[in-house]
Structure 1
Amino acid sequence: MGPGPAIRTPDQRLRVFVSSTLKELEPERRAARAAIERLRLAPVMFELGARPHPPRDLYRAYLGQSDVFVGVYWQQYGWISPGEEISGLEDEYRLTPGDMPKLIYVKRAAEREERLAELLDRIRDDGTASYTPFSTADELAELIESDLATLLAERFDASRGAVTSDAGAAGDEASADEASDARAAAAAPPTGSPTGRIPAPYTEAVGREFEVTALLTWLADDAQRLITLVGPGGIGKSRLAIEVAHQAGPPFDRVTFVTLEHVRDPAEVLPAIARELGVRDSGDAPLSEQLGIARAGRRDLIVLDNFEQVLDAARDLVTLLTDVPGATFLVTSRARLRVRGEQVFDVEPLALPPDLADPADDGTVDEILAAPAVRLFRDRARAADPRFEVTPENAADVVHICRALEGVPLAIELASARIRALTPAAMRARLDRVLPLLVTAARDVPERQRTIEATVEWSIDLLGDEARAMFVRLGVFAGDFSLDAVEAVTAGAPWATDLLGTLLELVDGSLLRQHGDADVPLFSMLVPVREIAGARFDRDQDAAAVRRAHADHYARLAAQMEPLLRGATQVAALDRLEAERDNLRAAFRHLIAVDAVDAVADAVWRLLLYWWIRSYLPEAKTWTEDLLAAGQPLSTRTRAILLAFPSWVSLWQTDAEISTAKLEESVRLFREIGDEFGEGLTLTVLSLAYMSVEPPDLELAEARQRAALDLEGGRDASFDALYRGALGRIRLQRGDLAGAMTLFEQSLDEAVRAQDMFVESIALTQVGWAQLALGQDASEAFLRNLDLAVRLRNDNGIAFALEGVSASVATTGDLERAGMLLGAADALRARTGLSDQRSYVTFQPFVDAVLASDDAAAFLAGRARGRRMSRRAVLESALGSHAAAAAGPRPSGVPS
C-alpha cells in the first residue's frame, strides 16, 4: 500500500507548534493560541487538526510542517499510549528538528510527576531551547507574543544580511540575461533610479514596528508573492504599505508604488502598473507579457494601493504572477482579493492603553504612553498645538478618547487635530456622537478621508444590494453580536436568504469584523461604522419590530446562559456575556420602554452570577430600580425579585439602607409560587442582612441560613457550597472557629468537585480568614484565591484576595508591603462601587493592630502607594514571590 495523503496544517502561514497536555493546560492553550494569532502566525495544535488521522501521525506530520516549537508544561507527564515507553508530550519534543527554535514555558507548581520533572531537567540542560517559568495564562500569552516577535526580528535581520551578500552576483547574472534579449532591451524603461516613486511619509508610523518587521519577513519569502493588507478605511493600510516600501531594499532591485485611488475601471490597472514601471504598451502582445519581458531577471516589489474599487482586476494580478515571475505584489484593499496565491495580512487598530479612572503620577503616564494609540494622539495633537502634553491631569481623558475610537489611526488623527479648540475633557464629553468630531480641513488629504463618515460611505458604496440592506439592519446592535443574534433580527427579511454569504461580504469589505474571543463566533463594527449603521437603521421602516426582536433575543440569551454560569462552563459563559453586554443593556432599555418589565426582571435575576463575578452589581441594582419606577403591574415572581435583588446589593454599599422586612416578604412570595431556588437564595441574602444590621441578630441569621440548606428543590452544587460557606461565616462571627472551619472546608470541597472557580475563590477567602483566626499561615489560600479572581476578571474578588494577602503579610512584619497590598484593594473597591460586606470586614482588626504599632507610618505610606499603583504592578508584587502557591491547583495546607 502506498503512502496516504499528506496531512496539512490549518493554514500556510509561519507555523508555531504548541506542545502541552490538553486538559490541565486548557486555559494556557487558549492563551497561547490567541498570542500566536495576534502575531498573524498559525498555531499548530492538536485540537485544530484533522481528526481522522491517528494522534501520533497527526502531531508528527504537524511538526514536520512547523517553523517554531513552543512547549508548555505544568504538572502532568501526559498519557503513554499502549506499546510505547514515552508520552506523546516527550515524543513531540524529541522529534523537534535540532535547528528549529524551541521556546519552553514551565508553569510554576508545588509538585510535578516524576517523569515530567526528569524531562524538564533534560530540556533545561541540553542548551538548545529557551526556558522560562510563568504563573498565569495571561503571563504566558505575553511571554509567547514577546518571544516570537523577537525571534521574527532576529531571523529577518539574519535573512537580510544573507540576501545582501549574494545580491551582486545575482544582479550580474540577470544583467547578462537581459543584454542577450533584444525584445527586453526594446521594452525596458530608460536607465534611472532603481526605485520608483514612493509617497513621502509626512509622519512617523506610530505603533507599527511589529507589522513592518513581519511584512518584510513575508516579502523575503519567494513563495509569498501576493500579499494583501486588508482592513477598514482609516486603519492605516496605505501608511503601513508606504513604510514597508521605504524599508524593503534588498532582495528587491526596484520598489514601485502604484496609487489606484482614482482608477475605477479594472481594465486600467495593468496600464497603471506599466506606467509606473516605465513600460510602453507596444500592442504587439498582451500587456502582462510585455511587462514580463521588460522586467525579466529583475526582482520587483510592486505596491498597489487602494485596490478595493477594482477588485475584478485581481484576475490580472494572477496572470502577472506567471508572466512576471520576479515580481512580488503588496496590495492594500478594504476587501480580500480571493484569488489563489493570496496571503492576507489583517491590519488591526493600534494597541490601546488599559482603562483607568485616575492616573495619579508620572509613572502611570509613562505606562499609558507605551500604548501606540496614545502616542499617536499625543504626536498628532502636538503637531496641531506644540504645547500639548499627556499629563496626570488629562491622561484619563486621553485614554478614554483612544479607547472610544478603538485605536483607529485616522479617527485618532482627526480627533487629536481638534486639540486647538477642545481640551481632552471637552473632547471626551462629545464622544457620544463621534462623527462630527472626526473631520479635517487639510487640503492635501483625499476627499474620502477628510471625514470618517466619507471613508465609511466609500466602503458602503462598494457593497451589493443585499449586503447594504444587511448593513442597515445590523445598526440595531450596540456592540459585539453573535450569528444567532443576526438570525433573530433578520428573520423574514427577503434579502436574508444567504445570511453567511452576506455577512462574509461585509467582513470582506472591512465593515464588519469577526472574532471568537468568547468561544463563539462574534461580529463587531468599529465605532464610526456602527454610528453610521445606527443612523441608517433609525430611519428604517421596520426599526420598531427589529428592536423588539433584538430585545427578545437577549432575554432568551440570559435564560440560556444562566446554568452555564456555574461549574466548568463558567469562564466561557462570562466571556460571552461580557462580549454582548452592550446589547444586553440596549435590550433591557427597550423592554422597559415597551413595559415588558417581567422579562427584564427575569433576565437580571438569571444573570445574578454574571453581575456578581464581574462586579456589576450596582448597575444591575439600577435596572431593578428602573423597573420599580416604571409603575407597571408586576407578577408575583417579579415582585419577589425586585424586593430581593436591590436589598442584596445594598449589603455591599455602606451608605445604603438594609431592609430585612423586604427580604422576608420576598421569601414569602417565592415560597408562594413554589420557586425553591429563589426562596433559598433570598433566605441566604436575608441571613446576611441579619448579620449586617446593628446590632446583628445572629440567631435569626443562622435560622434563615439553615432553612436555605434544608430546601431540596432548585439546589445545585455551586449554590449549596455558597449556602454552606454563608453558614460558616455565621459560626465564625459567633466564635465557633472549629465549626466554621468545618463548614468552609465542606464548601471548598463542593466547589472544587463542581469545577466552579468563583465559588472556590469565595471558599478560599473564608478558609484563609479562619486560618488567620486560628493563628495559621493563610497566604497560600489567599494567593490561590487571587489567581482564580484574576482568571475570572473578578475585581471584587481580587480586592478580597489582596486584603487577605495583606493581612498574611502583616503577620510577618513587612508592614510597608502589607499596606501597599491593602491600598491596591482600596483602589479596586473604589472602582467597583462595592465595599466589603458590612458583616464581614475581616481585615479591619489587622489594620487596627498595625495602626497602633510603632510601624504605622510605614504601613500608611505603603497603603498610599498601593492606591496609586497599576493593577499589573500590584499583581506582580503579590504573586511574584509566591507564584508556586498562586499557580498550583490547590494550595498545600488548604483542606481537601
Structure 2
Amino acid sequence: MQHSPPSGDVTLVFTDIEGSARASSQNETAFLEALSRHNALLEPLVEAAGGYLVKNLGDGYFFVFSDVYTATACLLDFQQRLQQEDFSATDGLRVRVGIHCAVLTPQAGDYFGSEVNLAQRISDAGHGDMILLSPLAAQRLQDNPLENTTIVSLGLHRLKNLSEPCLLFRLMHPALKDRQFPFLRTLTSLQHNFPAQLTAFIGRTSEMNHTKRLLMVENCRLITLTGMGGVGKSRIATQTALDSLEAFPGGMWRVEFADVRSPQEVPEAIAGALQEALAPDPGIEAEARLISFFREKQALLLLENFERVMEATPFVSDLIQSCPRLTILTTSQQLLQIGGEREVIIEPMKIPPEGESYETLLRFDSARLFVERASMARTGFTLTRENAPSIAKLCRELEGLPLSLELTASLVRALTPQQLVPQMSRRFRLIAATRPDLEPRLRSLRGAIDWSYELLTEGERTLYAELGVFVGGFSMEEVEAVCDAPDAFFLLIALRDKSLLKAEEVQASTRYLMLTTLREYALEKLEGTDRLQQLRERHAAYFLKRAEILATGLEGDTRQSMKTFALEVENMTSALKFLEDKGDTESASRFGAALGRYYLRRGPYAVAERLLEMAERYERSLFAKDAEAHRSRLAHILLRRGAVHLRRGECERAEICLRECLPLFEKEGDIRSAIASR
C-alpha cells in the first residue's frame, strides 16, 4: 500500500458494507468474522494496486489512488472476489463503492473539502454490489475503458449535504451481480423537505452510529438528541436522517420550532413543513390531517428545537400512538418525557491534549472541523507545523464546542490562529458571525447561551448563576453548603435536564460539571453584586476546611485523600487565589500548607515549593509572637519543604530546612518527626 498520500490529480474511493448495523445486531460474532475476512480481502488488493489507505471507517474504507483506471480495476476485482466468498452466516456481504476524481493536497495524511464529501455521498447513494462513478471518473473510464465494462448513466440526483444535483454513473461488468436494485439512496428518490447542506459534515461517528442504531436496528419510535445550544444537535440529527433514507420510504420532513412560541401552533407548523405532500382541507384541523397522513406511512419527522414548545408533548405522544410506523427524531435541550423516549446526549467534540503532534492533530474532530471551516474562510489555508499548536490551543479554549469552533474559524480570514489564541479571553465579544444563513441565536456564542438561559425558571437562573463560583465540578452537598440552596437537588436535576450541566458518577457520588464557557456566562450574571462576593467567601471557607481535613488523611493510606484532592484541586486553587487577592494572609497560608502536602506527593514540586514557602513565611511571623503555640506547625512545614528540595535535587537547600526543623521537633518531644528530619 502506498506509504505517502498522493497529491494533485487523484482518485478518491469510498467503500461501505450495506446493512452493517443490522447484520451486527443480529449476529455480532458472525458479522465481525465476515468483516475481518472483508478487510483481509480488500487491503492487500489496494496495496498491490498502489492505493493509499486514508482511514478505516469501521464498516468501510477511504482510499486514494493516483489514477482512476487503477482504482476502478482494483475495486472491480474486489467485488468479483467478494461475490465468490461464502458469507451465508450473515445472509451475504454486499459492498457499495463510490469513485470520484479531484485535485487535492493532503493535510497530515488526510484529505478534506467538498470533493471528499462528494466522493463519500456518491458511495452512500448506491446499494451493495454497485460501483458508482462521478461524471469526471466516468468520462475518464469511457476514454480508457476497462475490459468488458460499460458505463450507464443513472441521471441527475440530489445527494446528501450537496447544494447542486450530481450526474451519477454505474459501472457494469458481466461478473457483477445485476440484481433488481431499488432506487438510488438519494434525495431525488424520496419525499422530503431537507435543505441542502452547504458545508461538509465532520466527525461525530460515535453519536451518529448510536442514533442510527436506535433508528434502524432497535426501531425506536421517539429519539431525542439533547445538549446545550451550539453543540451540534441539529447537524447530527439532519445527517443521521439523511444517512437513513432507505429506512423511511414514506418520506422524511424537518420542522423547525425556533420561531414557534405557542404549543397550539405546533400541528400547523408540522403541516406547513409538509407543504404539497399534505393536501389542504380547511374543514379538518391540522392534528387530524397529520394523523391521517402518517397513519400508514413508514416516515420520519425531525422536530428541531423542541425545548421551545414542550407543552406540545401530548400531541407528539398522540402522533406516535396513532401512527405505528412513524418515527420522530427531536433535538431539544431537555427530554420530552414521553414513554419509550430514548435519549442521545450530544457532548462537545473531542479536543487534542497539550503537546499533541502535528502528525496526529487531525485525529480529533474539533481540529478537523476548525481546519475545514478555516479553509473555507481563507483560500489556501492549511494545517502546518507552525499553526498546529495554536489550532490545538483554540480547540481546547473553545472546549470542542462546534458553534464556537466554526465562528472562530471564520475569523481566519482576518487573523492567523496564532493571533486568535490571545483573543480568547474576550470570546463572548469576539465570537460572532455576520452570515445571514445562520439563525439569529447561532450568530454568536452569547446568543446560543442566551437561548438556553431564557428557558430557565427564576429559581434555576439564580442557582445557575451562583454555580459559576465552582471550578472543575461540584457535588450537591457542596452546592447546598456554598450557595445555601435547600432545593439544590431539584434545581441541579433541572439544570442537567436542560443541558447546562453534565452529571457523572465519581467515587460513588454524582458530580456535576459545567463548561468553562457556561461558567463565564454564569459569573457575568453576578458581576458587580454583593452576592458574588458572599459566594466567593463561602466557597473559599468551605474548601479551606475541606483541604485541611483531606491533608490530615495524607499520613497513612493516602489513596482516598489523594483521589478527593485531585477531584477538588481546581476549586481549591480558585479559592486560594481569591484569598490571596483579598489579602487574607492567614487563610491563604493555611491553604498553602494543606495544598502543599498534596503537591508534595503528586507534583509539580515547584507548585508545592511555592505553597509551602508561603505557609512558612506566615507561620514564622506567628512563631515569633508565640513560639510554644506554633513550633510544631512550623517544624512540619520546614520538614515538607526539605522533602520538596530533596525531590528536586536541591540537597543544600533541603539540608537547611531539615537542620532547622530538627531542634523544633526535639523541643516538642516529637521523636518520630525528629528521626524523619535527620
Q: TM-score, normalised by structure 2?
A: 0.67
Instruction: Establish whether residue 365 from structure 1 lines up as the match of residue 373 from structure 2.
Output: no
Q: How does 1:804-823 map to 2 (within 5 A)?
A: none
Task: Provide Cα deviations, 1:496-548, integer angstroms capped at 9, x if missing partner.
Answer: 33211111111111111112345432112112211111222333322222112
The answer to whether the 8 A contact 2:641-2:657 is kept is no
Aligned letter for 1:477? F
Aligned letter for 1:306? N
Q: Which residue matches 1:420?
A: 413
SS of residue matched to 1:542:
helix
SS of residue matched to 2:526:
helix
SS of residue matched to 1:658:
helix
Summarize the Cα distance change of 1:431–1:644 in structure 2 as closer, same or farther, 3 Å threshold.
farther
Aligned letter for 1:246? L
Q: Which residue matches 1:839?
A: none
Q: Which residue matches 2:235?
A: 239
SS of residue matched to 1:325:
coil
CA distance in 1, matches of 2:437, 2:654: 66
Q: Which residue matches 1:547?
A: 536
The answer to whether the 8 A contact 2:459-2:491 is kept is yes
Instruction: Establish whether residue 457 from structure 1 lines up as the match of residue 450 from structure 2.
Output: yes
SS of residue matched to 1:273:
helix
Q: Which residue matches 2:220?
A: 224
Q: Which residue matches 2:646?
A: 651
Summarize the Cα distance change of 1:103–1:197 in structure 2 as closer, same or farther, 3 Å threshold.
closer
The answer to whether the 8 A contact 1:384-1:420 is kept is yes
Instruction: Establish whether residue 506 from structure 1 lines up as the match of residue 503 from structure 2.
Output: no
Instruction: Establish whether residue 531 from structure 1 lines up as the match of residue 516 from structure 2.
Output: no
Q: How does 1:659-738 map to 2 (within 5 A)?
A: 659-670=654-665, 672=667, 679=673, 684=676, 686=677, 704=678
The answer to whether the 8 A contact 2:374-2:409 is kept is yes
Q: Which residue matches 1:269?
A: 266
Summarize the Cα distance change of 1:386–1:624 in structure 2 as closer, same or farther, 3 Å threshold.
farther
Instruction: Establish whether residue 434 from structure 1 lines up as the match of residue 427 from structure 2.
Output: yes
The answer to whether the 8 A contact 2:375-2:381 is kept is yes
CA distance in 2, matches of 1:196, 1:391: 41
Summarize the Cα distance change of 1:629–1:566 in structure 2 as closer, same or farther, 3 Å threshold.
closer
1:209 corresponds, among 198, 202, 205, to 205
The answer to whether the 8 A contact 2:295-2:326 is kept is no
Q: Which residue matches 2:245?
A: 249
Aligned letter for 1:243? Q
2:378 corresponds, among 360, 372, 385, to 385
CA distance in 1, matches of 2:585, 2:252: 64
The answer to whether the 8 A contact 1:376-1:413 is kept is yes
Task: Provide Cα deviations, 1:533-564, integer angstroms capped at 9, x if missing partner.
Answer: 12223333222221121112212322443466
The answer to whether the 8 A contact 1:291-1:324 is kept is no
SS of residue matched to 2:538:
helix
Q: Which residue matches 1:260?
A: 257
Q: Which residue matches 2:158?
A: none
Total equivalences in the alignment: 510
The answer to whether the 8 A contact 1:156-1:213 is kept is no
Question: By how many angstroms is 1:615 displaced?
Answer: 2.5
Summarize the Cα distance change of 1:392–1:636 in structure 2 as closer, same or farther, 3 Å threshold.
farther
Q: Which residue matches 2:302?
A: 303
Summarize the Cα distance change of 1:276–1:632 in structure 2 as closer, same or farther, 3 Å threshold.
farther
CA distance in 2, matches of 1:436, 1:647: 48
SS of residue matched to 2:360:
helix
CA distance in 1, matches of 2:339, 2:399: 32
Q: How does 1:275-354 map to 2 (within 5 A)?
A: 275-278=272-275, 279-280=278-279, 282=281, 287-354=286-353
Aligned letter for 2:644? V
Question: By how many angstroms is 1:591 displaced?
Answer: 2.8
CA distance in 2, matches of 1:564, 1:283: 75
Instruction: Establish whether residue 521 from structure 1 lines up as the match of residue 521 from structure 2.
Output: no
Q: Which residue matches 1:557?
A: 546
Question: By how many angstroms is 1:314 displaced?
Answer: 1.6
The answer to whether the 8 A contact 1:489-1:546 is kept is yes
CA distance in 2, matches of 1:403, 1:547: 26
Summarize the Cα distance change of 1:308–1:390 in structure 2 as closer, same or farther, 3 Å threshold.
same
CA distance in 1, matches of 2:323, 2:94: 24
SS of residue matched to 2:653:
coil
CA distance in 2, matches of 1:159, 1:596: 71
Question: By how many angstroms is 1:448 displaced?
Answer: 1.1
Aligned letter for 1:326? R
Q: Which residue matches 2:394?
A: 401
Q: Which residue matches 1:468?
A: 461
SS of residue matched to 2:348:
coil
Summarize the Cα distance change of 1:561–1:285 in structure 2 as closer, same or farther, 3 Å threshold.
farther
Task: Provide Cα deviations, 1:108-137, integer angstroms capped at 9, x if missing partner.
Answer: xxxxxxxxxxxxxxxx9xx9xxxxxxxxxx
SS of residue matched to 1:344:
strand
Q: Give the stretch that moved more between structures: 192-201 or 261-270.
A: 192-201
The answer to whether the 8 A contact 2:223-2:328 is kept is yes
Gap runs ≥5 in structure 2: 1-23, 37-54, 61-86, 97-125, 128-187, 623-629
Q: Give the stretch that moved more between structures: 393-402 or 372-381.
A: 393-402
The answer to whether the 8 A contact 1:256-1:301 is kept is yes
Identity over aligned pairs, percent = 28
SS of residue matched to 2:496:
helix
CA distance in 1, matches of 2:654, 2:558: 34
The answer to whether the 8 A contact 2:636-2:661 is kept is yes
Gap runs ≥5 in structure 1: 1-66, 69-97, 105-123, 128-145, 166-191, 687-703, 705-896
SS of residue matched to 2:300:
strand
Instruction: Establish whether residue 640 from structure 1 lines up as the match of residue 628 from structure 2.
Output: no
